[in-house]
Amino acid sequence: MINAILVFNNHGKPRLVRFYQHLAEEVQQQIIRETFHLVLKRDDHICNFLECGSLFGGSDYKLIYRHYATLYFVFCVDSSESELGILDLIQVFVETLDKCFENVCELDLIFHMDKVHHILQEVVIGGMVLETNMNEIVAQVEAQSKLEKAEGGLSAAPSRAVSAVKNINLPEIPRNINIGDINIKVPNLSQFM
């Protein structure tokens, strides 16, 4: 099981933090700090695995990490995971981010934190790997964006117009058809902004 996924930059600033076990806020921060110090002092090209001692309260845990340009991606896992498998998973996650953001950089992670979380959600849930097929992950994320865009147009519109659309009352119609419909109307409505 994956216990935590931590992404921080070369200065130790956290950019994505996801714990799959419940830990108090201070403990989380301490783990981030200690993990950073552990990986920082290691040069590149040495082993990507290291024992993290009692950081997570047991001796069974390992840190598996990769260093990309300005960011460290660190997965803390227990012995039920394959080390090389997790290393590949980090690569899958990063390649997916790269596809979704087109040349992902640290700034994307900062300004689109919610998106990054949603993408991660398609890869790992509850500490378990949900999907490793990159195309499948990207397809899910694209579907999400479509939904968002459809709604995003709506929510940006004045509430009067929104309620007008709502009054059309299409709840029985399956959702994706609904979206197609609204999409067409968006350009007209958006001039009220």
Partner 1 sequence: MPAVSKGDGMRGLAVFISDIRNCKSKEAEIKRINKELANIRSKFKGDKALDGYSKKKYVCKLLFIFLLGHDIDFGHMEAVNLLSSNRYTEKQIGYLFISVLVNSNSELIRLINNAIKNDLASRNPTFMGLALHCIANVGSREMAEAFAGEIPKILVAGDTMDSVKQSAALCLLRLYRTSPDLVPMGDWTSRVVHLLNDQHLGVVTAATSLITTLAQKNPEEFKTSVSLAVSRLSRIVTSASTDLQDYTYYFVPAPWLSVKLLRLLQCYPPPEDPAVRGRLTECLETILNKAQEPPKSKKVQHSNAKNAVLFEAISLIIHHDSEPNLLVRACNQLGQFLQHRETNLRYLALESMCTLASSEFSHEAVKTHIETVINALKTERDVSVRQRAVDLLYAMCDRSNAQQIVAEMLNYLETADYSIREEIVLKVAILAEKYAVDYTWYVDTILNLIRIAGDYVSEEVWYRVIQIVINRDDVQGYAAKTVFEALQAPACHENLVKVGGYILGEFGNLIAGDPRSSPLIQFNLLHSKFHLCSVPTRALLLSTYIKFVNLFPEIKTTIQDVLRSDSQLKNADVELQQRAVEYLRLSTIASTDILATVLEEMPPFPERESSILAKLKKKKGPGTVTDLEEIKKERSSDMNGSAEPTSVNASAVSTPSPSADLLGLGAAPLANSAPPPSSSGSLLVDVFSDSASAVAPLAPGSDDNFARFVCKNNGVLFENQLLQIGLKSEFRQNLVISSLISFLNHFLCLNLQTKPVDPTVDGGAQVQQVVNIECVSDFMEAPILNIQFSPKQEVQNIFKAKHPMDAEITKAKIIGFGSALLEEVDPNPANFVGAGIIHTKSTQIGCLLRLEPNLQAQKWLVTMDVMTENLAIDLVFLQKFSRTIGPFVAFQVANQDFDHKHSLKIFMSSSCSQVGRLAKC
How far is residue 120's CA from residue 116's CA, in Å, rounded to a whole number?
A: 6
Contact between 20 and partner 1 per CB under 8 A: yes
Tokens representing 102 are 């087109």
Determine which residue in the list 94, 129, 161, 165 makes contact with partner 1, applying CB under 8 A: 129
Q: Which residues between 105 and 124 bind partner 1 (CB under 8 A)?
A: 108, 110-115, 117-118, 121
Phi, psi of 133 (to 5 degrees): -85, 115
Dihedrals phi, psi of 64, to nearest 5 degrees? -125, 125
Q: How far is CA 82 from the centre of its chain?
A: 21
Residue 63: CB atoms within 10 Å: 23
CB of 180 to partner 1, least distance (A): 15
- CB of 182 closer than 8 Å to CB of 153: yes
Binder among 40, 156, 164, 173 for partner 1 (CB under 8 A): 156
* Joined tokens for residue 108: 């994307």
How many residues in total does the chain contain?
193
Q: Considering only residues 28-57, where is the footprint of partner 1 by CB under 8 A?
A: 29, 32, 42-43, 45-51, 53
What's the closest the beta carbon of residue 67 comes to partner 1, in angstroms? 13
Residue 163 binds partner 1 (CB under 8 A): no
Q: Which listed residue (37, 57, 84, 190) binds partner 1 by CB under 8 A?
A: 84
Q: Which of 34, 37, 40, 128 binds partner 1 (CB under 8 A)?
A: 128
CB of 28 to partner 1, least distance (A): 8
Instruction: Using CB under 8 A, count the residues that bind partner 1.
Output: 76
**6-61-82 Cα angle (round to 5):** 85
Q: Is 145 in the site for partner 1 (CB under 8 A)?
A: yes
Q: Does 68 bind partner 1 (CB under 8 A)?
A: no
Candidate list 88, 180, 190, 192; residue touching partner 1; CB under 8 A: 88
> Which one of 134, 161, 165, 170 is in contact with partner 1 (CB under 8 A)?
134
Q: CA separation (Å) from 60 to 13, 56, 57, 82, 151?
A: 27, 9, 9, 13, 45
